[in-house]
Structure 1
Protein backbone atom coordinates (compact mmCIF):
# COMPACT_ATOMS: atom_id res chain seq x y z
CA UNK A 1 0.00 0.00 0.00
CA UNK A 2 1.05 3.56 -0.48
CA UNK A 3 1.07 6.23 2.17
CA UNK A 4 -2.10 7.67 0.62
CA UNK A 5 -3.92 4.50 1.68
CA UNK A 6 -3.42 5.20 5.40
CA UNK A 7 -7.13 5.91 5.55
CA UNK A 8 -7.73 2.15 5.64
CA UNK A 9 -6.15 2.13 9.14
CA UNK A 10 -8.32 4.99 10.42
CA UNK A 11 -11.25 2.85 11.73
CA UNK A 12 -8.89 0.52 13.59
CA UNK A 13 -6.94 3.29 15.32
CA UNK A 14 -9.91 5.40 16.49
CA UNK A 15 -11.35 5.38 20.01
CA UNK A 16 -8.39 3.73 21.68
CA UNK A 17 -8.30 1.03 18.97
CA UNK A 18 -11.78 -0.22 19.92
CA UNK A 19 -12.46 -1.87 16.53
CA UNK A 20 -9.19 -3.80 16.67
CA UNK A 21 -9.98 -4.91 20.25
CA UNK A 22 -13.50 -5.96 19.21
CA UNK A 23 -12.15 -8.09 16.36
CA UNK A 24 -9.54 -9.59 18.69
CA UNK A 25 -12.18 -10.46 21.32
CA UNK A 26 -14.33 -12.22 18.72
CA UNK A 27 -11.31 -14.32 17.71
CA UNK A 28 -10.52 -15.13 21.38
CA UNK A 29 -14.06 -16.43 21.88
CA UNK A 30 -13.67 -18.88 19.00
CA UNK A 31 -10.54 -20.39 20.53
CA UNK A 32 -12.35 -21.26 23.80
CA UNK A 33 -9.19 -20.49 25.77
CA UNK A 34 -9.40 -19.04 29.27
CA UNK A 35 -7.43 -15.81 29.09
CA UNK A 36 -6.43 -13.57 31.96
CA UNK A 37 -6.34 -9.77 31.77
CA UNK A 38 -2.58 -10.02 31.20
CA UNK A 39 -3.20 -12.48 28.33
CA UNK A 40 -5.69 -10.07 26.77
CA UNK A 41 -3.12 -7.28 27.00
CA UNK A 42 -0.51 -9.52 25.35
CA UNK A 43 -2.88 -10.43 22.54
CA UNK A 44 -3.91 -6.79 22.02
CA UNK A 45 -0.23 -5.95 21.63
CA UNK A 46 0.11 -8.76 19.09
CA UNK A 47 -3.01 -7.45 17.33
CA UNK A 48 -1.53 -3.94 17.14
CA UNK A 49 1.70 -5.28 15.65
CA UNK A 50 -0.24 -7.53 13.26
CA UNK A 51 -2.32 -4.56 12.11
CA UNK A 52 0.81 -2.80 10.90
CA UNK A 53 2.23 -5.98 9.36
CA UNK A 54 -1.07 -6.62 7.56
CA UNK A 55 -1.12 -3.03 6.34
CA UNK A 56 2.37 -3.43 4.87
CA UNK A 57 1.57 -6.83 3.31
CA UNK A 58 -1.92 -6.05 1.98
CA UNK A 59 -2.42 -5.82 -1.75
CA UNK A 60 -5.86 -4.61 -2.94
CA UNK A 61 -5.43 -6.75 -6.07
CA UNK A 62 -5.75 -9.92 -3.94
CA UNK A 63 -9.52 -9.66 -4.22
CA UNK A 64 -10.14 -9.55 -0.48
CA UNK A 65 -11.00 -6.57 1.68
CA UNK A 66 -8.47 -5.25 4.15
CA UNK A 67 -10.83 -6.16 6.99
CA UNK A 68 -10.95 -9.81 5.85
CA UNK A 69 -7.20 -9.89 5.31
CA UNK A 70 -6.56 -8.43 8.78
CA UNK A 71 -8.92 -10.94 10.43
CA UNK A 72 -7.15 -13.88 8.80
CA UNK A 73 -3.74 -12.47 9.82
CA UNK A 74 -4.95 -12.01 13.42
CA UNK A 75 -6.36 -15.55 13.57
CA UNK A 76 -3.06 -17.01 12.35
CA UNK A 77 -0.99 -14.92 14.79
CA UNK A 78 -3.23 -15.71 17.76
CA UNK A 79 -3.30 -19.41 16.94
CA UNK A 80 0.50 -19.45 16.61
CA UNK A 81 0.85 -17.67 19.97
CA UNK A 82 -1.50 -20.10 21.72
CA UNK A 83 0.33 -23.07 20.20
CA UNK A 84 3.64 -21.62 21.39
CA UNK A 85 2.27 -21.10 24.92
CA UNK A 86 0.90 -24.65 25.11
CA UNK A 87 4.20 -26.03 23.86
CA UNK A 88 6.03 -24.13 26.59
CA UNK A 89 3.66 -25.56 29.22
CA UNK A 90 4.22 -29.12 27.94
CA UNK A 91 7.99 -28.63 28.06
CA UNK A 92 7.78 -27.34 31.64
CA UNK A 93 5.43 -30.16 32.66
CA UNK A 94 7.96 -32.76 31.51
CA UNK A 95 10.29 -31.59 34.26
CA UNK A 96 7.64 -31.28 36.97
CA UNK A 97 7.83 -33.87 39.72
CA UNK A 98 5.41 -34.36 42.56
CA UNK A 99 6.79 -33.96 46.07
CA UNK A 100 4.82 -37.09 46.95
CA UNK A 101 6.71 -39.14 44.34
CA UNK A 102 9.18 -41.72 45.60
CA UNK A 103 12.80 -40.63 45.36
CA UNK A 104 15.41 -42.60 43.46
CA UNK A 105 17.38 -43.36 46.60
CA UNK A 106 17.51 -46.82 48.09
CA UNK A 107 15.52 -45.62 51.09
CA UNK A 108 12.43 -45.22 48.89
CA UNK A 109 11.13 -42.20 50.77
CA UNK A 110 9.22 -39.29 49.28
CA UNK A 111 10.98 -36.26 47.86
CA UNK A 112 9.24 -34.05 50.40
CA UNK A 113 11.13 -35.83 53.17
CA UNK A 114 14.45 -34.90 51.54
CA UNK A 115 13.79 -31.16 51.38
CA UNK A 116 15.64 -29.38 54.16
CA UNK A 117 13.58 -27.29 56.51
CA UNK A 118 14.40 -24.75 59.17
CA UNK A 119 12.03 -26.50 61.53
CA UNK A 120 12.63 -30.10 62.50
CA UNK A 121 9.90 -31.57 64.66
CA UNK A 122 12.13 -34.27 66.06
CA UNK A 123 14.93 -31.85 66.85
CA UNK A 124 12.48 -29.64 68.72
CA UNK A 125 11.23 -32.60 70.72
CA UNK A 126 14.73 -33.70 71.73
CA UNK A 127 15.94 -30.25 72.82
CA UNK A 128 16.54 -29.91 76.53
CA UNK A 129 15.05 -26.74 77.89
CA UNK A 130 15.14 -25.62 81.47
CA UNK A 131 11.71 -24.15 81.03
CA UNK A 132 9.17 -26.60 82.45
CA UNK A 133 6.45 -25.09 80.27
CA UNK A 134 8.25 -26.19 77.08
CA UNK A 135 8.78 -29.69 78.46
CA UNK A 136 5.06 -29.83 79.12
CA UNK A 137 4.43 -28.93 75.48
CA UNK A 138 6.73 -31.72 74.33
CA UNK A 139 4.92 -34.17 76.63
CA UNK A 140 1.59 -33.00 75.21
CA UNK A 141 2.90 -33.47 71.67
CA UNK A 142 4.09 -37.01 72.46
CA UNK A 143 0.79 -37.85 74.18
CA UNK A 144 -1.08 -37.11 70.94
CA UNK A 145 0.96 -39.69 69.03
CA UNK A 146 0.04 -43.34 68.68
CA UNK A 147 2.29 -46.03 70.17
CA UNK A 148 3.72 -46.73 66.72
CA UNK A 149 4.46 -43.03 66.16
CA UNK A 150 6.16 -42.78 69.57
CA UNK A 151 8.33 -45.77 68.59
CA UNK A 152 9.18 -44.06 65.28
CA UNK A 153 10.00 -40.85 67.17
CA UNK A 154 12.30 -42.68 69.60
CA UNK A 155 14.14 -44.38 66.75
CA UNK A 156 14.54 -41.05 64.91
CA UNK A 157 15.87 -39.42 68.08
CA UNK A 158 18.40 -42.24 68.37
CA UNK A 159 19.64 -41.55 64.82
CA UNK A 160 18.07 -44.39 62.88
CA UNK A 161 17.36 -43.79 59.18
CA UNK A 162 13.95 -44.34 57.64
CA UNK A 163 14.89 -47.61 55.92
CA UNK A 164 16.24 -48.94 59.25
CA UNK A 165 13.08 -47.89 61.07
CA UNK A 166 10.95 -49.71 58.50
CA UNK A 167 12.93 -52.89 59.05
CA UNK A 168 12.91 -52.65 62.86
CA UNK A 169 9.17 -51.93 63.09
CA UNK A 170 8.22 -54.14 60.10
CA UNK A 171 6.48 -51.29 58.27
CA UNK A 172 5.88 -50.73 54.60
CA UNK A 173 7.22 -47.57 53.03
CA UNK A 174 3.67 -46.24 52.77
CA UNK A 175 2.89 -46.91 56.44
CA UNK A 176 6.05 -45.17 57.60
CA UNK A 177 5.47 -42.18 55.32
CA UNK A 178 1.87 -41.79 56.47
CA UNK A 179 2.89 -41.89 60.13
CA UNK A 180 5.68 -39.37 59.56
CA UNK A 181 3.23 -37.05 57.84
CA UNK A 182 0.85 -37.29 60.78
CA UNK A 183 3.70 -36.66 63.22
CA UNK A 184 4.83 -33.60 61.26
CA UNK A 185 1.35 -32.27 60.55
CA UNK A 186 0.62 -28.75 61.67
CA UNK A 187 -2.23 -30.01 63.81
CA UNK A 188 0.25 -31.96 65.96
CA UNK A 189 3.28 -29.67 65.74
CA UNK A 190 1.43 -26.44 66.64
CA UNK A 191 1.41 -27.61 70.27
CA UNK A 192 5.17 -26.98 70.43
CA UNK A 193 4.77 -23.25 69.81
Structure 2
Protein backbone atom coordinates (compact mmCIF):
# COMPACT_ATOMS: atom_id res chain seq x y z
CA UNK A 1 0.00 0.00 0.00
CA UNK A 2 1.46 3.36 -1.01
CA UNK A 3 1.93 6.27 1.35
CA UNK A 4 -0.42 8.42 -0.74
CA UNK A 5 -3.20 5.81 -0.59
CA UNK A 6 -2.57 5.34 3.16
CA UNK A 7 -2.84 9.10 3.71
CA UNK A 8 -6.16 9.20 1.83
CA UNK A 9 -7.56 6.33 3.95
CA UNK A 10 -6.41 8.01 7.17
CA UNK A 11 -8.03 11.24 6.03
CA UNK A 12 -11.30 9.40 5.32
CA UNK A 13 -11.18 7.69 8.74
CA UNK A 14 -10.50 11.03 10.46
CA UNK A 15 -13.39 12.68 8.63
CA UNK A 16 -15.73 9.81 9.51
CA UNK A 17 -14.93 9.84 13.23
CA UNK A 18 -14.58 13.58 13.74
CA UNK A 19 -17.47 14.81 11.58
CA UNK A 20 -20.24 16.60 13.45
CA UNK A 21 -18.13 17.36 16.53
CA UNK A 22 -16.59 13.83 16.82
CA UNK A 23 -20.02 12.22 16.93
CA UNK A 24 -18.91 8.73 15.81
CA UNK A 25 -15.97 8.67 18.23
CA UNK A 26 -18.25 9.73 21.10
CA UNK A 27 -20.80 7.05 20.16
CA UNK A 28 -18.04 4.43 20.26
CA UNK A 29 -16.93 5.64 23.71
CA UNK A 30 -20.55 5.71 24.92
CA UNK A 31 -21.02 2.10 23.78
CA UNK A 32 -18.04 1.07 25.92
CA UNK A 33 -19.02 3.21 28.93
CA UNK A 34 -22.58 1.87 29.06
CA UNK A 35 -21.08 -1.31 30.56
CA UNK A 36 -19.98 0.67 33.62
CA UNK A 37 -22.25 2.43 36.10
CA UNK A 38 -21.71 5.42 38.33
CA UNK A 39 -19.95 7.67 35.84
CA UNK A 40 -20.62 11.39 35.98
CA UNK A 41 -20.67 13.84 33.08
CA UNK A 42 -17.14 14.89 34.04
CA UNK A 43 -16.03 11.25 33.84
CA UNK A 44 -17.56 10.95 30.39
CA UNK A 45 -15.74 14.11 29.25
CA UNK A 46 -12.50 12.67 30.61
CA UNK A 47 -13.03 9.50 28.61
CA UNK A 48 -13.79 11.51 25.44
CA UNK A 49 -10.42 13.23 25.90
CA UNK A 50 -8.75 9.88 26.49
CA UNK A 51 -10.42 8.59 23.30
CA UNK A 52 -8.77 11.39 21.31
CA UNK A 53 -5.34 10.26 22.55
CA UNK A 54 -6.11 6.61 21.80
CA UNK A 55 -7.47 7.51 18.36
CA UNK A 56 -4.25 9.36 17.47
CA UNK A 57 -2.20 6.34 18.53
CA UNK A 58 -4.48 3.82 16.78
CA UNK A 59 -4.47 5.64 13.46
CA UNK A 60 -0.64 5.61 13.47
CA UNK A 61 -0.50 1.88 14.26
CA UNK A 62 -3.36 0.79 11.96
CA UNK A 63 -2.10 -1.81 9.46
CA UNK A 64 -5.24 -2.02 7.22
CA UNK A 65 -5.41 -5.82 7.70
CA UNK A 66 -8.54 -5.68 9.84
CA UNK A 67 -11.51 -3.29 9.98
CA UNK A 68 -10.53 0.02 11.61
CA UNK A 69 -13.75 0.17 13.67
CA UNK A 70 -12.99 -3.14 15.42
CA UNK A 71 -9.34 -2.22 16.00
CA UNK A 72 -10.29 1.17 17.48
CA UNK A 73 -13.04 -0.35 19.63
CA UNK A 74 -10.65 -2.93 21.04
CA UNK A 75 -7.95 -0.37 21.83
CA UNK A 76 -10.45 2.08 23.36
CA UNK A 77 -12.05 -0.65 25.44
CA UNK A 78 -8.68 -1.74 26.84
CA UNK A 79 -7.59 1.82 27.64
CA UNK A 80 -10.91 2.76 29.28
CA UNK A 81 -10.91 -0.42 31.35
CA UNK A 82 -7.36 0.33 32.51
CA UNK A 83 -8.32 3.91 33.41
CA UNK A 84 -11.39 2.83 35.39
CA UNK A 85 -9.32 0.23 37.24
CA UNK A 86 -6.71 2.89 38.05
CA UNK A 87 -9.37 5.30 39.34
CA UNK A 88 -10.99 2.63 41.50
CA UNK A 89 -7.60 1.66 42.92
CA UNK A 90 -6.96 5.31 43.86
CA UNK A 91 -10.37 5.52 45.56
CA UNK A 92 -9.68 2.38 47.59
CA UNK A 93 -6.27 3.76 48.55
CA UNK A 94 -7.89 6.99 49.76
CA UNK A 95 -10.45 4.99 51.76
CA UNK A 96 -7.69 3.05 53.50
CA UNK A 97 -6.00 6.31 54.44
CA UNK A 98 -9.18 7.80 55.99
CA UNK A 99 -9.22 8.10 59.75
CA UNK A 100 -12.28 8.42 61.94
CA UNK A 101 -12.44 11.43 64.24
CA UNK A 102 -13.38 9.07 67.06
CA UNK A 103 -10.12 7.10 66.79
CA UNK A 104 -8.10 7.60 69.93
CA UNK A 105 -4.69 9.22 69.58
CA UNK A 106 -2.33 10.46 72.18
CA UNK A 107 -0.78 9.14 75.32
CA UNK A 108 -2.40 5.94 76.54
CA UNK A 109 -5.30 6.51 74.16
CA UNK A 110 -6.63 9.26 76.40
CA UNK A 111 -7.72 11.62 73.62
CA UNK A 112 -9.56 11.26 70.31
CA UNK A 113 -8.95 13.42 67.27
CA UNK A 114 -12.12 15.33 68.11
CA UNK A 115 -10.43 16.52 71.29
CA UNK A 116 -7.76 18.23 69.15
CA UNK A 117 -10.18 20.08 66.87
CA UNK A 118 -10.86 23.60 68.07
CA UNK A 119 -14.53 24.47 68.14
CA UNK A 120 -16.47 27.16 69.88
CA UNK A 121 -19.79 25.52 69.00
CA UNK A 122 -21.83 24.67 72.08
CA UNK A 123 -25.01 22.71 71.43
CA UNK A 124 -26.75 23.88 74.58
CA UNK A 125 -25.75 27.51 74.10
CA UNK A 126 -26.99 27.40 70.52
CA UNK A 127 -30.26 25.81 71.61
CA UNK A 128 -30.69 28.44 74.33
CA UNK A 129 -30.36 31.23 71.73
CA UNK A 130 -33.18 29.70 69.72
CA UNK A 131 -35.57 28.86 72.51
CA UNK A 132 -39.09 30.10 72.22
CA UNK A 133 -40.87 31.30 75.35
CA UNK A 134 -39.59 28.71 77.81
CA UNK A 135 -39.84 25.68 75.52
CA UNK A 136 -36.11 25.04 75.94
CA UNK A 137 -36.63 23.02 79.12
CA UNK A 138 -39.06 20.71 77.29
CA UNK A 139 -36.61 20.22 74.45
CA UNK A 140 -33.75 19.38 76.82
CA UNK A 141 -35.94 16.90 78.66
CA UNK A 142 -36.92 15.22 75.37
CA UNK A 143 -33.24 15.10 74.32
CA UNK A 144 -32.15 13.57 77.63
CA UNK A 145 -35.01 11.06 77.57
CA UNK A 146 -33.57 9.60 74.34
CA UNK A 147 -30.17 8.95 75.99
CA UNK A 148 -29.10 5.86 77.92
CA UNK A 149 -28.06 6.09 81.57
CA UNK A 150 -24.38 5.97 80.56
CA UNK A 151 -24.90 8.78 78.03
CA UNK A 152 -26.69 10.93 80.62
CA UNK A 153 -23.78 10.36 83.02
CA UNK A 154 -21.30 11.37 80.31
CA UNK A 155 -23.38 14.47 79.54
CA UNK A 156 -23.47 15.50 83.20
CA UNK A 157 -19.71 15.07 83.54
CA UNK A 158 -19.10 17.06 80.35
CA UNK A 159 -21.29 19.86 81.68
CA UNK A 160 -19.16 19.80 84.84
CA UNK A 161 -16.05 20.35 82.63
CA UNK A 162 -14.47 16.92 83.01
CA UNK A 163 -12.05 15.86 80.28
CA UNK A 164 -12.85 12.75 78.20
CA UNK A 165 -10.11 10.64 79.82
CA UNK A 166 -11.43 11.64 83.28
CA UNK A 167 -14.97 10.68 82.32
CA UNK A 168 -13.82 7.28 81.07
CA UNK A 169 -11.93 6.71 84.31
CA UNK A 170 -14.86 7.80 86.53
CA UNK A 171 -17.42 5.71 84.62
CA UNK A 172 -14.95 2.85 84.10
CA UNK A 173 -15.62 2.60 80.39
CA UNK A 174 -13.30 1.90 77.48
CA UNK A 175 -12.30 4.52 74.90
CA UNK A 176 -14.52 2.74 72.34
CA UNK A 177 -17.54 2.77 74.66
CA UNK A 178 -16.99 6.49 75.27
CA UNK A 179 -16.64 7.21 71.54
CA UNK A 180 -19.77 5.20 70.70
CA UNK A 181 -21.76 7.05 73.35
CA UNK A 182 -20.53 10.43 72.14
CA UNK A 183 -21.40 9.54 68.56
CA UNK A 184 -24.97 8.72 69.59
CA UNK A 185 -25.24 11.86 71.72
CA UNK A 186 -24.00 14.05 68.85
CA UNK A 187 -26.10 12.33 66.19
CA UNK A 188 -28.43 14.55 64.23
CA UNK A 189 -31.35 12.34 65.17
CA UNK A 190 -30.88 13.24 68.86
CA UNK A 191 -29.53 16.80 68.66
CA UNK A 192 -32.20 18.08 66.24
CA UNK A 193 -34.73 17.93 69.12
CA UNK A 194 -32.95 20.90 70.69
CA UNK A 195 -33.51 23.19 67.70
**TM-score, normalisation: structure 2:** 0.69
Q: Per-residue displacement from partner, 1:6-28 (whole Å, max 9, x unpaired)?
A: 11222111222221122112222
Change (3 A) 1:52 1:189: closer
Q: Distance in 2 between matches of 1:47 and 1:139?
A: 59
Mark the runs of 5 or more structure 2 residues left unpaired by the alignment: 127-133
CA RMSD of aligned residues (A): 3.5
Contact 1:152 1:165 in 2 (8 A): yes
Q: Distance in 2 between matches of 1:94 and 1:143?
A: 36
Mark the runs of 5 or more structure 1 residues left unpaired by the alignment: 126-132
2:17 corresponds, among 5, 12, 17, to 12
Matched length:
183
Change (3 A) 1:110 1:29: same
1:77 aligned residue = 79
Give the 3-state SS of the residue equivalent to 1:69 in structure 2.
Answer: helix
Contact 1:13 1:20 in 2 (8 A): yes
1:47 corresponds, among 48, 51, 59, to 51
Q: Distance in 1 between matches of 2:57 and 2:63?
A: 12
Shift of the alpha carbon at 1:115? 2.8
2:39 aligned residue = 35
Change (3 A) 1:119 1:138: farther
